[in-house]
Structure 1
Amino acid sequence: MPYAPSFPVMLMTRDNLRIDAAHTPPRGAADLGIVLAHGFTGSHRERATRRIAHVLSGFGGVVAFDFRGHGRSGGLSTVGDLEILDVDAAVRHARAIGYRKVVTVGFSLGGAVALRHAGVLGGVDAVVSVSAPARWYYRGTRPMRQVHWAIERPVGRLFTRLGKNTRIMRGVWDPLPLAPYAAAAQISPAPLLVVHGDADPFFPLDHAYQIYGYAGEPKELWIEPGYGHAESAATPELVRRIGGWAVARFGPPEGVYSS
């Protein structure tokens, strides 16, 4: 299907990194801005993310971006730590171009960063976390053991740079960033939606329950039957429901489309 037109944007973070982004205007009058954060090794330019941005643009304008160290953005990936500054840059841009309400929607690593951004820096009106880890260093599934190999081993970082255009920092976090579940406890009174699939091969359901359990009200938990992981498994129907949830928090704008 043809995607809604988007326009390139170059963002600047508070630590002076250039972040590649795109703005998809709303299809109809809307004052809701949606900041879309991709998963690890993803990009706003990938087909799955573009499809999600297209669907969400029926509910508000979408600012999608590449995390640091990903795609055309500068710097190195810190795998969930300084990425909160990338989300902050996208949120500030959404405000600057006129969106009165801003909701962050993050998938996998992007979901963890959306939680941490809202809990640590704030400045958003609602948060949607999809397929996110609750805690760091989880190795309980084979896909996550492969992710840790890519992050921790020199050959893994080389493979990720050459194969996925993702540049990862060396070394370990110092200090350890606040865990996503702990950040979720600091988001209230902003509404939080936690979405997780019961067929997620990366993170089992206890991650979603931990995030939801620590979060304050208002909050919702959607356990999606048969849903796998993150952007590639998200159906248009699920994305439309997420967009509808965001709109319902603030009242429907004029001219909302759902196609």
Structure 2
Amino acid sequence: MPLAATFPATLMTKDGVRIDAAHTPSRGDAGLGIVLAHGFTGSWRDATTRRIAHVLSGYGGVVAFDFRGHGRSGGLTTVGDAEVLDIAAAVGHARSIGYGRVATLGFSMGAAVAVRHAALHGGTDGVVAVSGPARWYYRGTRPMRQVHWAIEKAPGRLAARLVKRTRIRSIPWDPVPLAPHEAAARVSPVPFLIVHGDADTFFPLEHAHQLYEAAREPKELWIEPGYGHAESSATPDLIRRIGRWISHLPRLTDRPPSLDRRDVPDAAERTVPE
């Protein structure tokens, strides 16, 4: 089946990083935009992500993009910190091309960034976190120990650059950014959907439960039987259900900013050295 047409775009973040993006126009609600955020080492150009964007475009227009340090975007990845500025640029682009309601949908690292963006920046009408971590530095599974090797060790960073086209910043976080479960407490009053598989080999279900318990209403938790991790395991049926959930979101962004969402000092608010 042919995929819906996409139109490339180049975005610029607040700290001056060029972001490679694409817009898939809505085949459903013309006023609904969905910002699609991939996982670590992913890209909007990956076949799996493009299929997800195609399914979602049946519900709203999709703005997909490569995080900094990934694919054709500039800069270096900070693995979840400064990436909130990348989502902010994508949300701004969705608004600029006419979408009145905008939701963010992130997978794995993208889920953590979407939650942190909602807490620190706001300006969206819904947040969906799929296969996301609740906390940083988790090494409880073999895949996550491999991820930490790729991030923390020079040979790992070289392998990520050569094999996955992912350029990782070697400078450790200082300070450590707001953790996803801490950010989850600040998403309300924006509707928040957490989706996690009971067969996730990266982050066990405790992460989904920690996010859900930290969040305030309105919130939902979907535990998906047999679902593994992130984009590669997501079925068209799951993406359609997420699309339907997003399509029923009320428009919230005309409201005054929540008194609970203030400008929180965070490493992502600074220019990140490359």
Normalising by structure 2, we get a TM-score of 0.91
Query: What residue is the counterpart of 2:67 in the other structure?
Result: 67
Supply the AA of the counterpart residue of 1:246: I
Does the CA contact (< 8 Å) of 2:6 and 2:22 recur in 1? yes
In 1, the alpha carbon distance for the partners of 2:75 and 2:130 equals: 25
In 1, the alpha carbon distance for the partners of 2:249 and 2:179 equals: 26
Are residues 1:15 and 2:47 paired? Answer: no
Runs (5+) with no aligned partner, structure 1: 252-259
SS at match of 1:128: strand
Are residues 1:113 and 2:113 paired? Answer: yes
Question: Which shows bigger deviation, 41-50 or 21-30?
Answer: 21-30
Give the 5 Å matches for 1:108-257: 108-250=108-250
Query: What residue is the counterpart of 1:256 in the other structure?
Result: none
- TM-aligned CA deviation for residue 190 of structure 1: 0.2
In 1, the alpha carbon distance for the partners of 2:231 and 2:30 equals: 24
- TM-aligned CA deviation for residue 249 of structure 1: 1.6
- TM-aligned CA deviation for residue 57 of structure 1: 0.1
Does the CA contact (< 8 Å) of 2:101 and 2:124 recur in 1? yes
Please list the CA deviations of residues 52-88 of structure 1 after superposition, one character each: whole Å capped at 9, or x if unmatched: 0000000000000000000000000000000000000
- TM-aligned CA deviation for residue 113 of structure 1: 0.3
- TM-aligned CA deviation for residue 171 of structure 1: 2.2
- TM-aligned CA deviation for residue 29 of structure 1: 4.6
In 1, the alpha carbon distance for the partners of 2:53 and 2:96 equals: 19
Supply the AA of the counterpart residue of 2:213: G
182 and 29 in structure 1: CA distance in 2 versus 1, 3 angstrom threshold: closer
Does the CA contact (< 8 Å) of 2:37 and 2:87 recur in 1? yes
In 2, the alpha carbon distance for the partners of 1:222 and 1:166 equals: 30
Please list the CA deviations of residues 23-73 of structure 1 after superposition, one character each: whole Å capped at 9, or x if unmatched: 000014520000000000000000010000000000000000000000000
Please list the CA deviations of residues 185-230 of structure 1 after superposition, one character each: whole Å capped at 9, or x if unmatched: 0010000000000000000000000001000100000000000000
Percent of matched pairs sharing the same residue? 71
Kindly tell me the number of residue pairs found equivalent between the two proteins. 251
In 2, the alpha carbon distance for the partners of 1:123 and 1:74 equals: 25
Which ranges of 4 or more aligned residues in structure 1 deviate by more than 3 Å? none
In 2, the alpha carbon distance for the partners of 1:30 and 1:58 equals: 10
Question: Which shows bigger deviation, 24-33 or 59-68?
Answer: 24-33
Q: What is the root-mean-square deviation of aligned Cα atoms in Å? A: 0.8
